[in-house]
Structures are given as C-alpha cells and as structure tokens.
Amino acid sequence: VWAEPVKRKTAKDVTTAMRKILLQMKNMPRNCQTDLGKEFYNSEFKKLMIEFKLNHYSTFSTMKASVVERTNRTLKNLLWKKFSLQGTYKWISILQDVINQYNHTPHRTLGLPPSKVNTRNTKAILDTVYNYIKTVDPKPSKFKKGDYVRISKYREAFSKGYTPNWSNEIFRIAKVNFRNPTTYLL
C-alpha cells in the first residue's frame, strides 16, 4: 500500500501526490484504476499517466471496491490506535509509519506481508488465494449463444421501486464463457 497526504483534492495536489507514489514503486504497474473524480480526470493527471506509460481508466460503476474498502478500514484502525497512544489526532506525521506497519504485517489471505510479494512469488500467491475457485461452473448455463436477453440494472439502496430493474435495450448473446460464475459476451 502506498499513501501520500493531500491538503485538498485538487488536480495539482493529487497529481503531485501520485507522482511521489509512482517514484517510490519498484515495479511499475501497467494500469491505474480510479473513480470518476475531477482530481483524476484533468490535463495534469493525464500528462502524468502518459509520462509513466500507465493505462488510466474507470469502471463507471457505483459499486464499491471491497478490497480497497477493507484496506482503508484496517488503516483507519491502525491510525486510531496511534491516536489513542499519542493523545492527538495529528495523522500526517504518523501516516508513513502506519503504512509501513501494514505492509510488513503478515496477512491471513496471503500468508505473508505485502512487502514480500514480488514477481517471483506472484503465481504461488494467486494459487493460494484463489485455490477454492472452480474454473467451470458445475451448473449448466441459463442462456445459450444466440439467445436474446435484457441486462439487469444496478440499484441503489433507496432507489425508486416502481422503475424496471432491466434495460430497455435487448441484446443477443454472442458467446458463453463457461467459468464460475458463467459470463456472457453480448
């Protein structure tokens, strides 16, 4: 995990923080996924992504990223422990210590600290983490190639109940991917 404090979520501040993070990395990523915030979609951030040859994208989804949310929760817990010890809520001076503690603490899922993950052991870790996933779903697929379907819409918790849960547009299934879960190419 990498983190840099910012005073405001302006294009300049976020781009400067992201540059610091990218310069710390030993292995440069190929992709950078963010939300649709203006702090990420501006000319300064775009130049940074081009400079570091990163594919910047967003999924245009209102769904939360559970892995990121869980990491944030753990970091907040570590910060609050430090706040209790020092008797103050000044977090900027202790942020890097908390990040370092997180990165050097073994994780149950990985079986080792994140700082020990590298290109040589990535495959073994992925096999350990995803060993319970079956590659093919044992149930037969609901639809077959050539079927016409509608897509279900994602609904917020308090959205209007009288609007349809399905798209108006009808799609034709071009390919069935037999995985777990079964997916369809429209």
Res 80: pLDDT:
93
Beta bridge partners, 14, equal: none
Res 100: pLDDT:
96
* Phi and psi angles of residue 57, each rounded to the nearest 5 degrees, phi first: -150, 165
- CB 173, CB 149: distance < 8 Å: yes
The helix/strand/coil state of 46 is helix
Res 13: pLDDT:
97
Total residues found in the chain within this entry: 186
Q: Each residue of 90-126: pLDDT tens digit?
A: 999 999 999 999 999 999 888 899 999 988 998 888 8
Q: Is the pTM of this model over 0.95?
A: no
Q: What separation in angstroms does the CA of 166 have from each of 161, 163, 170, 183, 186?
A: 12, 9, 10, 17, 15
> How many angstroms separate the CA atoms of 184 and 186, rounded?
6
Amino acid at 56: H
The helix/strand/coil state of 176 is strand
- Give 1-62's CATH code, choosing from 3.30.420.10, 3.40.50.720, 2.40.10.10, 3.40.190.10: 3.30.420.10
Helix (H) or strand (E) holding 95: helix 95-103
Res 114: pLDDT:
92
pLDDT lower than 50: segments of the chain: none
**15 burial class (0-12, 13-18, 19+ CB within 10 angstroms)?**
buried
- CB 186, CB 169: distance < 8 Å: no
Q: Each residue of 117-126: pLDDT tens digit?
A: 988 998 888 8
> Residue ranges per domain, the chain?
1-62, 64-132, 135-186
- CB 143, CB 176: distance < 8 Å: yes
